Amino acid sequence: MTCGKPRLPENWPGHAGRTYTQPVISAPLEVDYVLTPDDLYAFQLRALQKSPIAKRSRRNVYIGILAALVILTVVPAIGSDGFVFSRVSIGFIAIPVVIFVALTWLIEKPMARRAIRQVVQQEKPDKGQLGRHTVRLEDTAVVESTAVGDQRISWNGIDRIEYDPDYIYIYTTPMSALVIPKRAFTSSVEAEKFHDLATGRRNAAG
């Protein structure tokens, strides 16, 4: 048994014996979309939670608080007779840590979300962020067009490219990005090809 190009049935009207191939979906070089307040909110919230700078800042805060608690716990255990471990109160460390984590979840996150929504509400349509965008992938640069003008960023000026289930992010700096909703593409395959093409050109630029 051999395999070749599939053939239409001999009795198919007007197509007897013809061969056919599956359509090839090429990578789109340009995408048009409208960025909404919900899109901008999703990006800002993601940046707060997952950006390297935000993660580093939170980690430094946690390390600083933990170090201060350790020092406050260990110092009283040092006396004229040296360090006595029995004087160390583990609860002195554990209780504040638990309280801090609880307050972070109960207070900090809702406050951060509220602050992001307030910032997003101040944005006006067609002023650069909200509104219609066109992003074009050229050989040497990525070009974004909005109601206020165009910006052209060479591929070696792109910080990184990321994606999640709903968006593609082309970061022009460590904290700012071209936010491209995947709904702008006709299929998930198109969105993936666009991401792969952008990533390939960025990596090729070095």
Distance of CA 46 to the CA centre of its chain: 6
What average pLDDT does range 142-152 have in this prediction? 93
pLDDT band at 58 (very low <50, low <70, confident <90, very high): low
Q: Kindly tell me if the per-residue pLDDT of 166 is higher than 60.
A: yes
Same domain, 162 and 92: no
The CATH number assigned to the domain holding 139 equals 2.30.29.30
Strands (E), the chain: 30-35, 78-79, 82-83, 131-137, 141-146, 149-154, 160-163, 167-171, 177-181
Neighbours of 33 (CB within 10 A): 18
Asked if the structure places residue 9 within a domain, the reply is: no
Same domain, 169 and 199: yes
State residue 3's pLDDT score. 47
What average pLDDT does range 69-82 have in this prediction? 72
Report yes or no: 135 and 143 within 8 Å, Cβ to Cβ: yes
Q: What percent of the chain has pLDDT over 90?
A: 36
Higher-pLDDT residue of 149 and 9 is 149
- Domain end, chosen from 121, 137, 160, is at 121
Task: Give the chain's domain count.
Answer: 2
- Domain end, chosen from 88, 121, 154, is at 121
What average pLDDT does range 84-94 have in this prediction? 69
State residue 12's pLDDT score. 45
Distance of CA 159 to the CA centre of its chain: 12
Same domain, 109 and 147: no
- Pairwise CA distance, residues 176 & 36, whole Å: 16
Q: What is the mean pLDDT of the chain?
A: 79
- Domain end, chosen from 121, 150, 169, is at 121
Report yes or no: 42 and 53 within 8 Å, Cβ to Cβ: no
Same domain, 96 and 47: yes
pTM: 0.64
- Pairwise CA distance, residues 35 & 38, whole Å: 8
- Pairwise CA distance, residues 114 & 11, whole Å: 65
- Pairwise CA distance, residues 86 & 73, whole Å: 11
Same domain, 99 and 137: no
Asked if the structure places residue 166 within a domain, the reply is: yes
Higher-pLDDT residue of 103 and 151 is 151
Residue 86 is part of which domain span? 43-121
What average pLDDT does range 116-140 have in this prediction? 84
